């Protein structure tokens, strides 16, 4: 499933279109039923139904032309308030594993450079 967290119940629609009226680089899309937001804390994704309190607040922020930082802060707070603990643990462990892997690759590249091995 696309979303890590779903706010609301019922259909979320089949697809969503990137919201062009929000300035800046973002992954916030919408359809008639919901907002689909990606690239959040720990690479999480959230779907917020427009008929929920959170959806109404997000709609208001977008309509008022709030800056991207304020919108993302709101959405990440909604995400963190609603993500199940077990899912959050999985995402944290995945981020730790990814960081360790990147660190190993960087160290190997450094060793190769020192030894002039390519």
Distance CA 50, CA 75 (A): 13
**pLDDT at position 3, please?**
64
Question: Does residue 14 have a pLDDT over 80?
Answer: no
CB atoms inside a 10 Å sphere around CB 5: 20
For the chain, give percent helix, strand, coil, nearest 5.
Answer: 50, 15, 35
Question: Quick one: tokens of 34?
Answer: 């919901």
- Per-residue model confidence as pLDDT tens digits over 37-52: 998 888 888 999 999 9
Question: Quick one: tokens of 18?
Answer: 């990137």
Domain boundaries, the chain: 1-83, 84-118
Helix (H/G/I), strand (E/B), else coil: 49:
strand
Distances (CA, A) of 27 to 33, 89, 97, 100, 104: 17, 23, 24, 26, 30
Tell me the pTM.
0.79
User: Which one is predicted more confidently, 30 or 20?
Assistant: 30
């Amino acid at each position: 499933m696309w979303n890590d967290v779903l706010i609301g119940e019922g259909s979320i629609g089949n697809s969503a279109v990137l919201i062009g009226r929000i300035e800046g680089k973002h992954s916030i899309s919408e359809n008639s039923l919901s907002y689909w937001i990606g690239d959040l804390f720990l690479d999480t994704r959230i779907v917020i139904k427009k008929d929920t309190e959170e959806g109404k607040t997000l709609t208001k922020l977008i309509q008022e032309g709030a800056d991207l930082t304020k919108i993302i802060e709101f959405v990440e707070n909604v995400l963190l308030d609603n993500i199940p603990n077990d899912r959050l643990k999985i995402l944290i462990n995945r981020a730790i594993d990814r960081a360790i892997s990147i660190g190993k690759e960087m160290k190997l590249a450094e060793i190769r450079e020192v030894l002039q091995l390519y």
